[in-house]
Amino acid sequence: MREEADHRVPVLIVGGSLVGLSASLFLGRHGVRHTLVERHPGTSVHPRGRGNNARTMELFRVAGIEQDVRTAASLLTDNHGILQAPSLLGDAGAWLFRHIDPDGGLARLSPTTWCLCSQNDLEPVLLDGARELGGDLRYSHELESFVQDPEGVTAVVLDGTTGRRYTVRADYLVAADGPRSPVRRSLGIAQTGPGDLFANVSVTFRSRLLADAVGDRRFLCCYLIGPDADGALLPVDNKENWVFHVPWHPERGERPEEFTDERCARHIRRATGVRGLDVEITGKAPWQAAERVAERLSSGRVFLAGDSAHEMPPTGAFGSNTGIQDAHNLAWKLAAVLGGWAGPGLLETYDTERRPVALATGARASARSVEHGHPGFAPARSVGAGERPSGLLNLVLGHRYPDGAVVGTDPARTVVPATARLTGEPGSRAPHMWLRRSGTRLSTLDLYERSMVLLSDARGGAGWHEAARRVADLGPVRLVAHRIGTHPDGADLICDEDDEERADWARVHGTTPGGAVLVRPDGFVAWRAERTTADPEATLRAVLTSVLRTDRAVT
């Protein structure tokens, strides 16, 4: 069957929503040929999944699409915060939070910031970016079955347009096929967690009068908690297009078909308090919030990403962001293994690293839903228990990998630290600081994408720099070496920080002028040396062998 396959490709992606499209984009950036199959005829038409956090925007920045995403999101640029109110009449109510970054502290941690871009606007940007990089994206094509063996995966795909079935032979399969993932079920992978938490029917509608009731309150979302009707109101364009999440109670026997246009329109009028409100229903989509994580994120040559790997409530917009970051973690590892500069064992670290992040993030998302009192949510005492209310940055930017493709970490450390201090600790996202290269300003984070990167100080890191260049010249490891300084002498990257402390590269990265930091293609620190050694090259080769799980020492 392997020889008779109709189509041969290194990676097959199943699912063409945000996570599948992101996987395609990231693999394309690495030059990895792949095919994506999606059973729907095109990208999402329903405005949902709108919050893209700072870490996701960092990934889009490096992938070259950040500005395109912000352009697609321009209608909601001025919307911030979550308002909770009994209705839209008058000024009663309180802001659960007014601004995501009220103190401006994010600028010290990242070169970018959050972006409110709905899924129906974001997916076309990802689609265009992936296709420009050569991605083979096939809509109206559905995975029917697959089998795997030690050398690869053979899949049967149905072309929904022609009715023709064909086979695809791939080295690896990435399943981004949603919370009811047929791939996960076929693999027999169970899930852990509280399960279903609450349900809503997401209603899109037009109303020209609603903008007058909203006034100048430019919120991300408004939780309406009146006694007659509750729900969540979300603007689409702040003018006449809106989304309303109507609570749905399947545990009481309610069925989605009971939410007729008339019922939804009445509910929206009661919840907003605007009796004569013009409401034209344009779409409905039932959904259930849940907290679940797959017991493992891989099986042989098949990997789960996004909702197929984990489900979490929408509060905090953690779900899609976690999935996009899954895809990014997996893409560089697939590229390294397929490119021959890492061993297959590197792919085992995908589960080691991303599953603990999914568990921690899901628990935090549930706790935030409890904290915010999401309409329609009556949580059990166990849901969110033990999760202290806190800011988002320690989770969004500060999460770390205590174990995995890293050297020098403590596997007993927690995945989410108490604060978002990024100091170059192995297993954490590398620190951001501004640099200049040939007159162009860039962030340290812009250096990381297609290779391992060794950073050393222009004052005393010559040994590390030369060692990295020798390793890179001999191959096969993709390794780039940079020297950072405050003056051009001996440095290819110049610090561009006004703060003297922030301009000290070694201090920012938790090392000394004689040390070095090895950063992975996904921007996470793989290893750090505080000072030079007697044989920097041998040390570096041993570290790369451990991180990349090569079968033999890097020579």
Joined together, the tokens standing for residue 286 give 């039932």
Same domain, 180 and 198: no
Tally DSSP H helices, then E strands, for the chain.
Answer: 13, 25
Identify whether residues 441 and 469 lie together within a single domain: yes
402 falls within a domain? no
Both tokens assigned to 49:
């999944």
Same domain, 117 and 176: yes
Whether the CB-CB separation of 312 and 360 falls below 8 Å is answered with: no
Enumerate residues 6+ apart whose C-beta is below 8 A from 42: 139
Query: What is residue 429's three-state secondary structure?
Result: strand
The residue among 396, 421, 450 that closes a domain is: 396
Distance CA 332, CA 312 (A): 25
Query: Are 316 and 353 members of one domain?
Result: yes
Angle between helices 318-338 and 18-29 (to 10 degrees): 30
Tokens of 225: 């908690």
**Whether residue 53 is found in the same domain as residue 118:** yes
102 located within any domain: no
Q: Is residue 410 part of a domain?
A: no
Q: How do residues 39-87 score in pLDDT, each as one tens digit?
A: 999 998 887 778 899 999 999 999 999 999 999 999 999 999 999 999 9
From 396, 414, 449, the end of a domain falls on 396
Distance between CA atoms of 555 and 549, rounded to whole angstroms?
14
Over residues 191-204, mean pLDDT = 94
Taking the C-alpha atoms of residue 443 and residue 398, their distance in angstroms, rounded to an integer, is 18
Mean pLDDT score of the chain: 93
Say what the pTM is.
0.95
Number of structural domains in the chain: 3
**pLDDT of 533 higher than 50:** yes
Same domain, yes or no: 514 and 369: no
Confidence of residue 203 (pLDDT cuts 50, 70, 90): very high
Domain assignment of residue 477, given as a range? 434-548
The domain that holds 513 is classified in CATH as: 3.40.30.120
Name the token pair of 142: 């559905």
Same domain assignment for residues 161 and 204:
no
pLDDT digits (tens, 9 = 90+) for 471-500: 999 989 999 999 999 888 889 999 998 777
